[in-house]
Amino acid sequence: MDFNRESFLEGKLLLINKPIGWTSFQVVNKIRWLIKSTFDIKKIKVGHAGTLDPLAQGLLIICTGKLTKKIEEFQSAKKGYSGTFFIGATTPSFDLETKIDSKSSIKNIDEKKLHETSKKFLGKSKQIPPIYSAIKVKGKKLYDYARNGESVELKKREITIFKFIIKSINLPLVNFEIECSKGTYIRSIANDYGKELKVGAYLHKLIRTSIGDFLLKDALEIKDFEMKIKKISG
């Protein structure tokens, strides 16, 4: 991979493994700062092609320079995820960002039911996004409404689930793989999956493994990108 001033300005696509605890925006800011400081560039466009929640990790496509014009194209690609549901409890954010607000017995949940329920989600459907999300309603992000205890009408969005496989089961934890369309919230799938099981569920762990033909296994850790680019300046 060529790491030079001209290539970043002309447009470079970077595959980054976003760590848990970082926002996608923080990753973009870090990459932008490293490029600007290394090559003494006053201004350069840097953006990502699809947000990952802070508690999620995995593939983030970063575009620089003129290639930022293609971000929308990358955003529209099919996404692949692996992760873990916690069965028998719910949280307001549908993940570990908020505390458990309900619990149910899972004594009637068996392997057959878990597999059969996942099949119900295949194909096109209408999904309600989590109230704890960055979607804007009337110029305000949904999670701002949620944190202020304000109610807001959530509109359903059409999504497509191409693949939903239960990989392994160790109740209350259930490991899965999902391939889905742009705009799909895996947290909402976790919540809806729990509703179908009638015991509740939330997203315990999430890793984005692919975006279109781009794979997580080909992604750089942020520290590795930093080492590569510092070698140039050093």
What is the residue extent of each domain of the chain?
5-76+213-233, 79-211
149 vs 195: which has the higher pLDDT: 195
Average pLDDT for the chain: 91
Q: List the beta strands (DSSP E) in 54-145.
A: 57-64, 79-87, 89-90, 102-103, 123-127, 136-137, 140-141
Mean of pLDDT values over 165-187: 97
- Is 53 annotated as catalytic? yes
Find which of 37-41, 69-73, 146-150, 173-177 is predicted with most confidence, using mean pLDDT: 173-177
Q: What pLDDT, on a 0 to 100 scale, did the predictor assign at position 137?
A: 66
Report the alpha-carbon distance of residue 39 to residue 112 in Å, rounded: 57
Residue from 53, 101, 144, 213 carrying the catalytic annotation: 53
Query: CA-to-CA distance for 6 and 45, rounded, in angstroms?
Result: 13
Give residue 148's pLDDT band: very low, low, confident or very high (50, 70, 90).
low
Q: Classify 79-211 by CATH class.
A: alpha beta
Q: How far apart are CA 53 and CA 69, in angstroms?
A: 23
Q: Which has the closest alpha carbon to 24: 211, 158, 193?
A: 211
Q: Which CATH architecture has domain 5-76+213-233?
A: 2-Layer Sandwich (3.30)
Which pTM was predicted? 0.91
pLDDT the model gives residue 12:
94
CA distance 63 to 214: 13
* DSSP β-bridge partners for residue 111: none
Looking at the chain, the whole-number percentage of residues with pLDDT higher than 90 is: 77
